[in-house]
A and B are shown apart, each in its own frame.
Chain A
Amino acid sequence: DGGITQSPKYLFRKEGQNVTLSCEQNLNHDAMYWYRQDPGQGLRLIYYSQIVNDFQKGDIAEGYSVSREKKESFPLTVTSAQKNPTAFYLCASKRELGFGYTFGSGTRLTVV
């Protein structure tokens, strides 16, 4: 079955470390998105990409970086510049206009 795979499910980071969250899809979707979820704040857009080798900042891009070298993959790096990285991170992809997003199962990142 087609879908979006996020790994790992749980990730622990030490202060000052960069970590990379994986997002892979086999849905042949062009657009991919990264959201951050904090309790009571809903989902906030970090970065999105509508096509390979192109991506745009979302509302809270500071301290994060992405790449889109392949259609199937959209990894997110949480850098040491992100001061409060503990959160639930969700990756999504979109088929085409009006179809909504398909979400992965998320990665919970905790700073230790």
Chain B
Amino acid sequence: AQSVTQLGSHVSVSEGALVLLRCNYSSSVPPYLFWYVQYPNQGLQLLLKYTTGATLVKGINGFEAEFKKSETSFHLTKPSAHMSDAAEYFCAVSDTGGSEKLVFGKGTKLTVNP
């Protein structure tokens, strides 16, 4: 069974600082990996995804993530935080089988301080 662990339920950074949100996964098959962002009382929006190919993937709003198979990690980064980045972020993993159900981490709430 697949699972996702997001280290840190809350992360606080200053505006302009590096954002690093950690995600580790377990999967018995090559995974597909996703990061989603959620603003209060809204649905989830896809930030970026890794399926195959290049292990460094770039997403929207200046975010990127690197797939490291040896570390079973898919950490999300942004060089310089903006106030508008304050939201909750979810890492998710799916298998490459037919159902492709997504398994989500518990989320990390990002606070950006002025």
| B67 proximal to A (CB < 8 A) | no
Count of interface residues, chain B, beta-carbon cutoff 8 Å: 24
Interface set, chain A 64-110, CB cutoff 8 A to B: 88, 90, 92, 94, 97-106, 108
* A40: chain B residues within 8 A (beta carbon): 9, 106-107
Shortest distance from the beta carbon of A5 to any chain B beta carbon, whole Å: 11
Contact check, A42 vs B104: say whether CB atoms are below 8 A apart.
Answer: yes
**What total of A-B pairs shows CB separation below 8 Å?**
61
Q: Does B42 contact A (CB under 8 A)?
A: yes
Q: How large is the interface on A (under 10, 10 to 19, 20 to 34, 35 or more residues)?
A: 20 to 34
B99 lies within 8 A of A106 (CB): no
Given contacts A98-B51, A100-B49, is CB(A43)–CB(B104) below 8 Å? yes
CA distance A98 to B86 in the complex (A): 27
In contact, A103 and B43 (Cβ under 8 angstroms): yes
A38–B96 alpha-carbon span in the complex (Å): 27
| Residues 1-25 of chain A, each 1 if its beta carbon lies under 8 Å from chain B, else 0 | 0001010000000000000000000
Interface residues of B, Cβ cutoff 8 Å to A: 9, 32, 34, 36, 41-46, 49, 51, 90, 92, 96, 98-102, 104-107
